[in-house]
Amino acid sequence: MRFLIFSALLLIQFQSLFAQQKSLVKKANTIATKPAISKGVVSGGREIAITLTPLKNCTVYLGSYFGKGMTIVDSTRLDQNSKGVFKGANKLTTGIYFVVSPTYTIQFELLMDQQQRFSIQADTSAKESAIIKGSPDNDLFKNYALFSNEKGKTLQQLKLALQSADGAEANKIRLSIANTEKEIKQYQANIHKTQPRSLLSALFYIMQRPELPPVPIVNGKPDSAYPYQYVKQHYWDNVLFNEDRLLRTPFFEPKLDEYFKYYVSADPDSIISEVKQMLLMAKTGKEIYPYLLTKFTNKYINPEFMGQDKVFVYLFENFYAKGDTVLLNPASRKSITERAYSLMANQIGQQAPVLNLTDTSGKKVGLYSINAPFTIVTFWDPNCGHCKEEIPRYDSIYKAKWKANGVAVYSVNIYENENAAWKKFIVDNKLSAEWHQVYQTKEDKLVEEKAGLPNYRQLYDIFKTPTVYLLDNKKRILAKQLSLEQFDALMDAKKR
């Protein structure tokens, strides 16, 4: 039943969300008032008359959803007769909108149809009784709201009764619940059939999730993978990713998040395949395309799971680097570009960037000169509190297990000005003599800068300490930024 009823049932939630955005509303007000007082609106624009009693001589707003957030799109000044007009030279994106009072409280919802030439008559004391004339889409919406609210209350009562019922009575209630849910689905099916071009029909498609089909029997055995594949294949039926109205609902983004959580493998190549398809389909959407590109960028620039930063690198190379940086302001463009170049050099499966640093005795030690089945490369700061805890832990497991297994440790002090503290920490904590303790000298750093070469901080994406990598015997990156225990478990798994 999730998202089946999207009228009064969600109104309290909308008010709560909107209340958190008062500062945004106030900021937007200076922009939003301009279209409302414009004159000479062309035939392609919007003109929505509103009477909202008992409010007089005040400003009311027209808002809409935008992904998981909300935004103000227009405003009008009510006169002494409580009348005003939301007016502008351009049409608004179709979707679910709402009227907002001067105190930033949502009054009621409405559908923004294609024509955008209708009138609203409402009272703040009877929000559910708002009358909208001249908009067939809103007629459908109101009828469905009345129907869904009635069925919603019925379902609530039935489910409450089911908690204390048993036996035949419980079965009877379950049947009633199933029949009520069937009525709701049938209502939606009728809208698809009789009003296929209506906005309400499109909203139903955005909300719906495919129903799980029965498990088929193949060669005498149930095909347990079939329901998953079926739902995945039909998850986006009748939803077009280039339609901006997807964003003007509270349903699309939660559905998108569920899709990636439950129906897309965490493997970066699987994610890239999905992201690529969605962005290419959304390319012609004025609002939806930049929104999705930004959403995926933010999600995978610092991903939840190791290796998924490959998705961000893909986005940079295939979208931003090919011109889509025009969507960014200079600061964001610089940040995304620098982050992309930092991640390009240290993707899982790639060869680790070359390191040729100086040890405590002044001797150069090259990372690739080390012969070991596994190499831990750790970048740390002797004055970092977390490093002071973690580095001794790495040393303990090295002494207890890794040393006997031939594991090498290439330990990099990232601050050449802290050599005294670095050496003191090594001595005080009795770190293993077999570790390759190294740093970059000021002279080497200067030579690198003059040559215009990327430094190791960029190549190894060092934005926090400690930053740790695990390399195989050919110095390919097996893992990065895992916990000590995860690195240990991975090495054990690779030895099998």
Per residue in 66-85, pLDDT (tens digit) is 999 999 999 999 999 999 99
Nearest to 354 by CA among 475, 442, 487, 444: 475
Strands (E), 172-300: 217-218, 221-222
**53: its two tokens:** 């009693």
- Residues belonging to the chain: 496
SS3 277: helix
Confidence check: pLDDT of 16 > 80 = no
Cβ 440 vs Cβ 406: under 8 Å: no
Q: Residue 154 has what pLDDT?
A: 95
Is the pLDDT confidence value at 444 over 70? yes
Q: Confidence class of residue 11 from pLDDT cuts 50, 70 and 90? A: very low
Report, as an integer, the average pLDDT of 400-416.
96
pLDDT value for 282: 97
The pLDDT score that the predictor gives to residue 39 is 31
Give the number of other CB atoms < 10 A from CB of residue 290: 15
pLDDT at position 495 is 82
Q: Which of 397, 327, 305 is nearest to 316 (CA)?
A: 327
Binned at pLDDT 50, 70 and 90, residue 211 comes out as confident
Q: Are 140 and 194 in contact (CB under 8 A)?
A: no
Say yes or no to pLDDT of 239 above 80: yes
pLDDT at residue 491 is higher than 60: yes
pLDDT above 70 for 480: yes
pLDDT at 9 over 90: no
> Which one has a higher pLDDT value, 33 or 268?
268
CA atoms within 13 A on the CB side of 354: 7
Nearest partner of 374 among 412, 345, 405, judged by Cα: 405
pLDDT in tens, 316-346: 999 999 888 777 888 988 999 999 999 999 9
List of domains in the chain: 217-344 (no CATH), 356-495 (3.40.30.10)
**What's the mean pLDDT in 278-285?**
96
Asked if 279 and 326 count as a contact pair (C-beta separation under 8 A), the reply is: no
